[in-house]
């Protein structure tokens, strides 16, 4: 007669122990989670210490994911060196053109806007003085005290230095990001092969699959984010142009760039448009501009985000908000920028590694490289054909 094991009871590896198995299991989970938390904290400290290198490389990775389709298309028609160079030069031209248009528009209208700001501030000052019966000397004293408080508590200089955003670090980081981007586009397959080769041979298949999922998740996130940012910028920029808000072109660029930081960037860029409308045309036009911003945000939240980012990144909105908050606490603006893609990649890779039977092609591509040779075969990376691009762009 066959005995059916009792599956309701937990097997005890220490039958003579006085500690219940549930308590031992909780203790084991606790110290393992503690080790993981300490490791993550140490990694954060290392990245912050070397932020002048880590941030440009991370930016280059996002740009490589953005330019991957164009690089793949060009590599099918020209040498990979020319394709990578053309992608980088095209990116520089586009960004330079946008910044030039913004600079020319701002410099052309700054005088008129400054005069309107001065007039508006005088009106606000007169209203405060007549409403609260504050004399000019008291108003000046309060204003100076406010400036002193902001200057003492802001500590903006050290925050910018820690984030690697001082003028010197910014220029050096820009060149490092472009240099890294060129090699990601040109030789991404070899870089991926070398990174996977650092792991033990028995773990390379799983690392291959995890890297593939991470890259697919990152490229999907970047492409969806660009589309959402473009729609936001067109909607708010067009509304600003129709309402004759100053610097409509600059608002378009600001909204487009700000939308890469989910939720926070859209709120800040929209607030700038509303403030410019208030300064230039008064509270009525500011309310109309606010309505335009809210309408575009509702379009993004209820249509674009669910259908585009929702499919690309399976993260609950609360997770997005908490992730951005954590990123701001850890690394400021840079942390807010990379919080969502980091969570998206970690979520996808974690599901893959924790699955009982993970599946997926062992293909790694840091830029637009369509594949990577099997580590166990010892084949050279340059011997791989340039086909099978659909395996990467799934």
pLDDT digits (tens, 9 = 90+) for 161-173: 454 456 677 778 8
Average pLDDT value for residue range 29-42: 88
User: DSSP labels for 106-132?
Assistant: HHHHHHHHHHHHHHHHHHHHHHHHHHH
Average pLDDT, the chain: 74
Structure confidence at residue 89 (pLDDT): 92
Coil, strand or helix at 51: helix
Percent of the chain scoring above 90 in pLDDT: 2
**Of the ranges 177-186, 231-240, 264-273, which one carries the lowest mean pLDDT score?**
264-273
pLDDT at 319 over 80: no
DSSP state, residue 133: T
Structure confidence at residue 378 (pLDDT): 40
Is residue 213 within 8 A of residue 349, CB to CB? The reply is: yes
The top-scoring range by mean pLDDT among 6-15, 98-107, 208-217 is: 208-217
The structural domains of the chain, with segments of one domain joined by +, span: 51-117+159-198+363-394
Structure confidence at residue 35 (pLDDT): 92
Structure confidence at residue 379 (pLDDT): 39
pLDDT at 198 over 60: yes
Q: What residues have CB less than 8 Å from 136, skipping those under 6 apart? A: 129
What is the distance between the alpha carbons of residues 280 and 276, in angstroms, rounded to a whole number?
A: 6
Percent of the chain scoring above 70 in pLDDT: 66
**Of the ranges 163-167, 251-255, 270-274, 387-391, which one carries the lowest mean pLDDT score?**
387-391
Structure confidence at residue 311 (pLDDT): 61
**CA 41, 42, 44, 49 torsion: positive or negative?**
positive
Structure confidence at residue 191 (pLDDT): 87
What is the distance between the alpha carbons of residues 340 and 321, in angstroms, rounded to a whole number?
A: 9
Average pLDDT value for residue range 235-249: 85
Average pLDDT value for residue range 80-92: 90
Angle formed at CA 349 by CA 227 and CA 345, multiple of 5 degrees? 30
pLDDT tens-digit series, residues 374-386? 444 443 444 443 3
Structure confidence at residue 361 (pLDDT): 47
Closest to 76 (Cα-Cα) out of 382, 370, 374: 370
Average pLDDT value for residue range 267-282: 80
**Of the ranges 21-35, 125-139, 144-158, 282-296, which one carries the lowest mean pLDDT score?**
144-158
Structure confidence at residue 352 (pLDDT): 82
pLDDT at 303 over 50: yes
The top-scoring range by mean pLDDT among 78-82, 137-141, 271-275 is: 78-82
Average pLDDT value for residue range 243-255: 83
pLDDT at 151 over 70: no
């Amino acid at each position: 007669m066959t005995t059916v094991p009792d599956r309701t009871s937990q097997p005890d590896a220490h039958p003579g122990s006085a500690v219940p198995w549930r308590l031992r299991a909780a203790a084991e989970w606790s110290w393992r989670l503690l080790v993981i938390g300490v490791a993550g904290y140490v990694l954060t400290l290392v990245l912050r210490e070397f932020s002048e290198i880590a941030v440009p490389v991370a930016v280059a990775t996002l740009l490589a994911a953005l330019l991957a389709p164009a690089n793949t298309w060009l590599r099918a028609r020209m040498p990979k060196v020319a394709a990578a160079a053309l992608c980088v030069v095209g990116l520089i031209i586009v960004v330079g053109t946008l910044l030039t248009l913004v600079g020319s528009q701002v410099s052309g209208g700054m005088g008129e806007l400054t005069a309107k700001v001065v007039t508006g501030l005088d009106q606000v000052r007169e209203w405060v003085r007549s409403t609260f019966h504050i004399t000019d000397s008291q108003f000046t004293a309060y204003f100076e005290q406010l400036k002193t408080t902001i200057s003492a508590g802001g500590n903006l200089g050290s925050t910018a230095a820690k984030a690697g955003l001082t003028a010197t670090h910014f220029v050096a980081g820009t060149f490092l990001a472009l240099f890294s981007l060129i090699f990601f586009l040109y030789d991404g397959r070899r870089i991926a092969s070398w990174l996977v080769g650092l792991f033990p041979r028995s773990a390379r298949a799983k690392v291959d699959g995890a890297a593939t999922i991470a890259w697919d998740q990152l490229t999907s996130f970047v492409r969806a984010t660009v589309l959402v940012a473009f729609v936001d910028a067109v909607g708010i920029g067009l509304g600003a142009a129709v309402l004759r808000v100053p610097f409509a072109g600059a608002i378009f660029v600001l909204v487009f760039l700000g939308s890469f930081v989910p939720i926070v960037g859209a709120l800040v860029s929209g607030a700038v448009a509303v403030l410019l409308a208030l300064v230039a045309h008064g509270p009525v036009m500011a309310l109309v501009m606010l309505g335009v911003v809210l309408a575009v945000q509702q379009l993004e939240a209820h249509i674009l985000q669910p259908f585009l980012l929702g499919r690309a990144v399976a993260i609950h909105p609360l997770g997005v908000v908490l992730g951005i908050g954590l990123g701001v606490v850890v690394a400021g603006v840079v942390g807010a920028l990379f919080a969502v893609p980091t969570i998206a990649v970690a979520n996808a890779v974690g599901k893959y590694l924790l699955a009982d039977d993970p599946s997926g092609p062992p293909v790694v591509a840091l830029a637009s490289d369509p594949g990577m040779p099997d580590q166990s075969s010892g084949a050279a990376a340059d011997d791989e054909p340039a086909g099978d691009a659909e395996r990467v762009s799934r």
